[in-house]
Amino acid sequence: MTGYDADVVVVGFGGAGAAAALSAAEHGVEVLVVDRDTRGGNTALSGGSLRLRPDVERAARYLSTLSLDRKAAAVHRSMLDGCRDLGGWLVRLGAEIEEMNDAFVTNTLPRVLASPYPTIAGSEALGPRFRVRGRDGQSGGDAVWELLRDAVLRHPRITVRTPAVAVELVRAGQGRVDGVRLREADGVHGVRARHGVVLACGGFEYDRRLQQNYLGFSLPAFGWPGGNDGSGVRLAQGVGAALWHMTSIASVLGYQLPGLEAAVRHSMPDLGYVYVDQECARFVDETGVDFHAIPMDLLRMNPRTFRRDRMPSFLVFDEATRAAGPIADTYLTPYRDEFRWSRDNRAEIERGWIAAADTPRELASTLGLDPDALAATVERYNAGAAAGADPLGRAAADMRPLRGPFYGVALWPCLINTQGGPRRDATCRILDPGGEPIPGLYGAGELGSMWTQLYPGAGNLTEAIVTGRTAGAAAAAALAPPAGPAPATGTVTPAVTDALAAFVADLRAGDLPETALRAARRCVLDQLGCAVFGSTLPWSALVRDYVRDEGSAPRALVWGSGLRASATLAALANATAGHAFEIDDLHAGACFHPGR
């Protein structure tokens, strides 16, 4: 790999990007991975659960029911096959893998059901959830991330450049993507990707305008602020990619807290709580609906008020639940190192993040809600809890009367991720609107994910690693086009050209330091050597014949012959000879002989 260039350039160093880099490198090519940082994207913040043992046939049917995109069957199939191969690969990288037991499911509130969509048959075909065991006993996405990251960093054929933000894809004449422009600390640079580019730079969790235009609304997100900003959508659009699954998101409930850009995950330590909307009405069985499905109730546009008037809704909980444990999960958040939520929620009450009051009426006032309405709702709920009956279907075992003091906080559907992006095929080639692959361009991960509207948990991380591996292998195997000039690293305006020309015209040998002169002499000699050999090749002779036939003023020597010609014609013949066997050196960025 010379300077910036690589065979495969991977944009994004999360799970998908890391897997793509490792897979491409396993196939023997040189890889460059770029990211704006090294925090590991959503991958490092994720729950870390993976599907490794799907029943492929049945799971394929299940995915086709979940998916409203009837044409994605080949993509589903390729992903399921990839799942079965994933465990072994992770183990070869050094992973210790554990199956998640049922306690995880039953102990978590809001609940993680066996299937988030219990009315849709077949979810068990995805197989159990697995995790990679982490160093400190924690087995979240950070464990997977550290495993992949370390494998990437120690691989001799992979280079990681950060901070480097991909700002544009570069295409060769034939439309093939063969480079990326990167914004780095010292400016924008072009990078050549001889085989291709893998886009693995995540969704648009942190671009509200893209959300507005593609989801129809915008939401708070859980990921690293400024991380996944929809770059991938824009990069792909710049080279004419088709987009797909643009309305698809994964969402769970969270809090938006003053001074924190990312949302903080809602999680309950005990059963003494309800959700109410802005009219103080309950609207969902809080404990019977899967945590990935509840946000659907909050997202809906009210067809009478024409507002999304359950954004936000409110969590109301009681004293016993306050004392039972934190109502937030801050381990897998960008703020992990800054603070932990207090065990009894007292610190957050003092900060004003949680409203506290002796009665539901007072709590309502503090939250800006109707006191009568909240009092009535709590009263009705308590009566139902005592009787073991709930109009919304909450299980009797999950209900008990709420007893003061009462606590409340605004509750938002928040983005785990967005899943839209460039459309890809089963081998992760990115397609144009006509369904044709864009040569040299590959996609992986949550950017242009296969999921449509119904996202089953543990589907994204698995997909990210599986599609990363597929995309990396496909890019590695892609035929590299003949060498050519690297993409320009900046726009040359006339004024700059003028200044450069004046500088060169004024330059005298005496102005140069001795080392530069020595290097220049070596370059000239090297080029001359290349040209002397090159002049013996048939194509050089063709050009020489043409120059001879022009019969121009005999001012300059045509190397490797006795011929003299005008300076321009001699330069044409000599340059042809110099490059004729492609043994001359090139400076990647500038495309001239650099002397190294």
Ligand X SMILES: Cc1cc2nc3c(=O)[nH]c(=O)nc-3n(C[C@H](O)[C@H](O)[C@H](O)COP(=O)(O)OP(=O)(O)OC[C@H]3O[C@@H](n4cnc5c(N)ncnc54)[C@H](O)[C@@H]3O)c2cc1C
For a second copy, the binding residues (CB under 8 A) are 68-69, 71, 117, 119-120, 209, 212-217, 233-234, 237-248, 284, 289, 293, 296-297, 300-301, 303-307, 420, 423, 432-434, 452-454, 549-553, 566, 568-569
Q: Which is nearer to a second copy, 139 or 576 (CB)?
A: 576
Query: In this complex, which beta carbon is closest to ligand X, that of residue 369 or of residue 447?
Result: 447
Select from 187-195, 355-363, 444-452, 484-492 the region that touches ligand X (CB under 6 A).
Answer: 444-452
Least Å distance, CB 37 to a second copy, is: 22
Contact between 290 and ligand X (CB under 6 A)? no
Q: Is 33 in the site for ligand X (CB under 6 A)?
A: no
User: Among 41, 82, 312, 421, which residue interacts with ligand X (rule: CB under 6 A)?
Assistant: 41
- Near ligand X by CB under 6 A, which window of 41-49, 149-157, 484-492, 505-513? 41-49
Burial 79-114 (b: 16+ CB within 10 A, else e): bbbbbbebbebbeebebebeebeeeeeeeebbbbbe
Beta bridge partners of 539: none
Using CB under 6 A, which of the segments 33-41, 89-97, 367-375, 515-523 binds ligand X? Answer: 33-41
Is there a contact between 251 and 219 (Cβ–Cβ < 8 Å)? yes
CA angle 426, 431, 435 (to 5 degrees): 95
Which C-beta is closer to ligand X: that of 245 or that of 544?
245
Region of residue 430 (phi > 0: left; psi between -120 and 50: alpha; otherwise: beta):
beta
Side-chain-side CA neighbours of residue 498 (13 Å): 3
- H-run or E-run covering 417: strand 406-418
Mutual orientation of helices 514-534 and 567-579 as an angle, nearest 10°? 80
By a kind-dependent CB cut-off of 5 to 8 A, residue 134 interacts, out of a second copy, ligand X, none, with none
Give the whole-angstrom CA distance, residue 564 versus residue 553.
8
Nearer to ligand X (CB atom), residue 356 or residue 461:
461
Q: How far is the CB of 393 from a second copy (least distance, A)?
A: 9
Find the shortest distance in angstroms from Cβ 539 to a second copy. Answer: 17
* Beta carbon nearer to a second copy, 161 or 548: 548
CA angle 64, 70, 73 (to 5 degrees): 60
Which of these, 468, 473, 469, 422, lies nearest to 445 by C-alpha position? 468
Paired tokens of 429? 């080639």
**Site for ligand X contains 222 (CB under 6 A):** yes
Residues 197, 9 contacting (CB under 8 angstroms): yes
Could you say whether residue 328 binds ligand X (CB under 6 A)?
no
Element (H, E) at 348: helix 346-350
Q: Is residue 472 at the binding interface for ligand X, with CB under 6 A as the rule?
A: no
Is 200 among the residues that bind ligand X (CB under 6 A)? Answer: yes
Summarize as ranges the residues that interact with ligand X (CB under 6 A): 11-17, 34-37, 41-43, 45-49, 141, 165-166, 200-202, 222-223, 227-229, 231, 332, 416-417, 445-447, 458-462, 464
